[in-house]
Structure 1
């Protein structure tokens, strides 16, 4: 998948396709907070997303406290947002619904 930085127009379009993600003020990253019913659900979500991250070779910056998972996505090599970030975000949204 391409690791070229997306244009502001493309970012605006792509973020509309996501559920609950917030674009940073500098438009270099997107963030989302996921809340689950328990720690085990949050950890299961992270485990599922880790598998996706390995397959994409694109890893999130994230933290977990009890049932909450905070996520930040950006592509460091591109110094901003790429298709990889939006693909990973969509996979995370899907994982959170299950």
Structure 2
């Protein structure tokens, strides 16, 4: 899978397989969005930091909105003005991080 923009049929198939994610718009540009409920601020901060490690490794950075017991993650690619294959890969990695965080800190 290249890092080109994902077309709408591909995106809809991916979203059907990943029900925690939704499509949204950021300044008119399509993006992937996931809101994650956690036990407290510390768990949300830990998850944000875990996601940030993978983002840095890929030199591709999400928008993270952190609050008490909640983290919102948005992935999109400025260079393709939409959602790329890299965004899908990093969303899947985000899901892995969520699973690990929730395993350590059940809600």
Q: TM-score, normalised by structure 2?
A: 0.82
SS in 2 for 1:37: coil
- Residue 67 of structure 1 is matched in structure 2 by 69
* Counterpart position of 2:83: 81
Structure 1 counterpart of 2:104 = none
- Which structure exhibits the higher relative contact order, with contacts defined as CA atoms closer than 8 Å and separated by 6 or more residues? 1
- Please give the alpha-carbon distance, in whole angstroms, between the structure 1 residues aligned to 2:58 and 2:44: 21
- For 2:95 and 2:17, the matched residues in 1 are separated by 11
CA apart distance, 1:45: 0.6
1:56 is aligned to 2:51 = no
- In the TM superposition, residue 90 of structure 1 has moved relative to its aligned partner by 0.7
Cα-to-partner distance string for 1:30-80 (whole Å, 9 max, x where unaligned) = 111111111111111111110110111111011101111111111011000
> Are 2:48 and 2:64, in contact at CA under 8 Å, matched by a contact in 1?
no
Extract structure 1 runs of 4+ deviating beyond 6 A.
none
TM-score (norm: length of structure 1): 0.89
Count of residues in Structure 1 that have an aligned counterpart in Structure 2: 98
